[in-house]
């Protein structure tokens, strides 16, 4: 093809411009598959360089990369405190003819009012089973897969639940309708024979499908209150409810028949890690990089029950994570007091769960710094997170 020198120059500039624009577009709106491919492309060179860095750092700062120290300044906190609290608060009252299956929650979808459980047919769960947390009604299982089940919360938009409005002198039947976690559920129907008052206790009402043993139990749902403007005729009965904080972690499912175990433990893929390397060649922060001894997907780094950080990059066996101070986890942490009570300003922080982070791992004491890499590090990924 014949091109004038000027045309040739313009063609080259246009090609370079297009190439750079495409690159900038990918940088601003990253595509996971492209990023993965590019990292895979440079992996041999990058690995060679990072092995050299590791060796140099080991010579220059032998203490920084050691993992055998001890965190003497950290007060001793039980790494299973959240689990213990959830079990203490969430275990429902025993009833003959009912076995309570303890099932961890994998994911909470607040918008849709759904809980995804980390167990399914493998744990003998079935659609329609009642789900509770302690003496609180949570909802019912609506869908069961092999290793997963979905619970529809009674507060989820459009969910209708039969309730009893309990006062000193009378019990009135009613039906509620959920409006999502942000709005109070409304009472849509009240038995015409009753005349409830504000402050009445709202309790779950069994259906014909529920076992007789379950019908005898009381599960609280909140308190009745009047909302809206009575003068304008827009007053409605609503329910003041509070979702139990522990139910984000585990719930109990009523079952008549059970499998081998009453507790469904979440499955993890784990891999041991080498010594972490502190720092980053470009960024400024508590970055750590570490090599996995075996190639496996990794979401978080853990050691001795304490979460060290979230894996933000994985390139083959190499992982990068940002060591965060416990308070830096923000809303992704759940706070407990030292006495083991859920409290917004509690000192002891645990991972809340969700977005790939498993729940219930100790993050540390609120005012402490980033975790010190004590003990043997390992990477974890919940089985449900692996596609």
Q: Write out the residues near another protein by the rule CB under 8 A.
A: 12, 16, 20, 23-24, 26-28, 30, 34-35, 38-39, 41-42, 45-50, 52-53, 56-57, 60, 278-285, 287, 289, 312-313, 315, 320, 322
Contact (CB, 8 A) for 206 and 240 = no
d(CA 273, CA 12): 47
CB atoms within 10 A of CB 168: 6
Closer to another protein at the Cβ: 28 or 94? 28
Closer to another protein at the Cβ: 24 or 127? 24
| Residues belonging to the chain | 387
Taking CA atoms, 181 is separated from 110, 151, 178, 284, 334, in Å, by: 6, 14, 8, 39, 18
Cβ at position 365, least distance to another protein in Å: 22
Cβ at position 50, least distance to another protein in Å: 4
Closer to another protein at the Cβ: 4 or 48? 48
Q: Which tokens sit at 151? A: 């619970």
Closer to another protein at the Cβ: 38 or 258? 38
Helix%, strand%, coil% for the chain, nearest 5: 20, 35, 45
Closer to another protein at the Cβ: 65 or 161? 65
d(CA 134, CA 91): 5
Cβ at position 368, least distance to another protein in Å: 19
Tell me which residue has tokens 């990477």: 379
Cβ at position 319, least distance to another protein in Å: 10
Cβ at position 45, least distance to another protein in Å: 4
d(CA 168, CA 68): 62
Cβ at position 284, least distance to another protein in Å: 4
Closer to another protein at the Cβ: 202 or 277? 277
SS3 26: helix
């Amino acid at each position: 093809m014949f091109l004038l020198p000027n045309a040739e120059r313009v063609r080259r500039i246009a090609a370079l411009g297009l190439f750079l624009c495409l690159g900038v577009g990918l940088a601003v709106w990253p595509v996971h598959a492209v990023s993965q491919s590019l990292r895979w492309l440079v992996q041999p060179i990058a690995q060679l360089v990072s092995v050299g860095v590791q060796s140099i750092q080991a010579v220059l700062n032998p203490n920084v990369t050691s993992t055998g120290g001890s965190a003497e300044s950290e007060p001793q906190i039980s790494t299973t405190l959240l689990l213990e609290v959830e079990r203490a608060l969430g275990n429902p009252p025993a009833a003959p003819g009912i076995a309570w299956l303890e099932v961890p929650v994998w994911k909470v979808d607040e918008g849709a009012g759904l809980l995804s459980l980390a167990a399914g047919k493998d744990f003998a769960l079935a659609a329609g089973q009642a789900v509770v947390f302690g003496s609180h009604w949570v909802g019912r299982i609506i869908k069961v897969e092999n290793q997963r089940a979905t619970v529809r919360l009674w507060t989820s938009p459009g969910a209708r639940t039969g309730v009893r409005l309990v006062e000193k002198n009378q019990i009135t039947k009613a039906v509620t309708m959920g409006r999502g976690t942000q709005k109070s559920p409304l009472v849509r129907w009240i038995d015409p024979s009753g005349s409830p008052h504000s402050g009445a206790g709202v309790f779950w009402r069994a259906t014909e499908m529920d076992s007789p043993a379950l019908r005898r139990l009381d599960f609280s749902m909140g308190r009745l209150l009047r909302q809206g403007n009575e003068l304008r005729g827009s007053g409605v009965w609503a329910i003041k409810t509070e979702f139990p904080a522990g139910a984000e972690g585990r719930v109990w499912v009523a079952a008549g028949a059970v499998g081998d175990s009453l507790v469904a433990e979440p499955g993890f893929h784990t891999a041991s890690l080498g010594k972490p390397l502190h720092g980053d060649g470009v960024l400024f922060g508590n970055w750590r990089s570490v090599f996995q001894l075996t190639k496996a997907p990794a979401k978080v780094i853990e050691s001795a029950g304490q979460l060290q950080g979230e894996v933000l990059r994985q390139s083959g066996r190499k992982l990068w994570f940002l060591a965060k101070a416990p308070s830096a986890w923000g809303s992704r942490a759940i706070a407990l007091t030292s006495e083991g009570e859920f409290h917004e300003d509690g000192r002891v922080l645990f991972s809340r769960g969700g977005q790939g982070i498993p729940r219930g791992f100790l993050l540390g004491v609120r005012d402490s710094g980033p975790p010190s890499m004590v003990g043997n590090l390992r990477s974890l990924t919940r089985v449900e997170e692996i596609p």
